A and B are shown apart, each in its own frame.
Chain A
Amino acid sequence: QKEVEQNSGPLSVPEGAIASLNCTYSDRGSQSFFWYRQYSGKSPELIMSIYSNGDKEDGRFTAQLNKASQYVSLLIRDSQPSDSATYLCAPRRDNYGQNFVFGPGTRLSVLP
């Protein structure tokens, strides 16, 4: 089993819709979870972090975490074409050095 699994996509949604990106992880010791957005040819940028079970909202983004199910998701409301990118899920492996294991990423395409 891979450490972090995501649907590779592409996930296509119409402009204005909700995009739902999912991630499962195998390391039960993961304590915090990060979502990065990566545009083609660019480096990843941090968009959301979540540490506790439940939902965390930041603008149009909502992260959801369920540690019992080892599942984390990212919802993007009112999706815009500028949201078209690859979204990387990154559970934090441990506290020392904050090592991340990145998921393979889900490519999102928001259609005008």
Chain B
Amino acid sequence: DAMVIQNPRYQVTQFGKPVTLSCSQTLNHNVMYWYQQKSSQAPKLLFHYYDKDFNNEADTPDNFQSRRPNTSFCFLDIRSPGLGDAAMYLCATSSATGGVGYTFGSGTRLTVV
């Protein structure tokens, strides 16, 4: 089945140690998104790619970076994780045409120790 896959499901990293979260999709969607969701809060958009065009949200900290080497893969890099970066990180995709919503991956739960 076509889907969005995030790895790993759970990630524990040390304070200040760079960490990379990955997302892959078999839907061939143009657009890929990264959201951060903290407990009992709405998902917050960090950035998105429209094909190769990178779009950063104005309030996304510089500590967060992203790469999209091809249509299928997108990575979230956290250069120096702080305790406040502990959250669920959600990858989502959508087609640039049509009125459908997002397809979400299952998320990566990041713990910073």
Contacts and interface: CB of A to CB of B under 8 A. Distances in A.
Interface of A: 4, 32, 34, 36, 41-46, 49, 51, 88, 90, 96-105
Contacts of B19: none
Contacts of A88: 42-43
Contacts of B44: 102
B101 interface: yes
Residue of B88, B101, B102, B104 most packed against chain A (CB within 10 A) = B101
A36 B48 contact: no
B50 A97 contact: yes
A48 B58 CA distance: 29
A32 B99 contact: yes
Contact of B106 (A4, A36, A42): A42
Given A97-B96, A99-B48, A103-B42, A46 B101 contact: yes
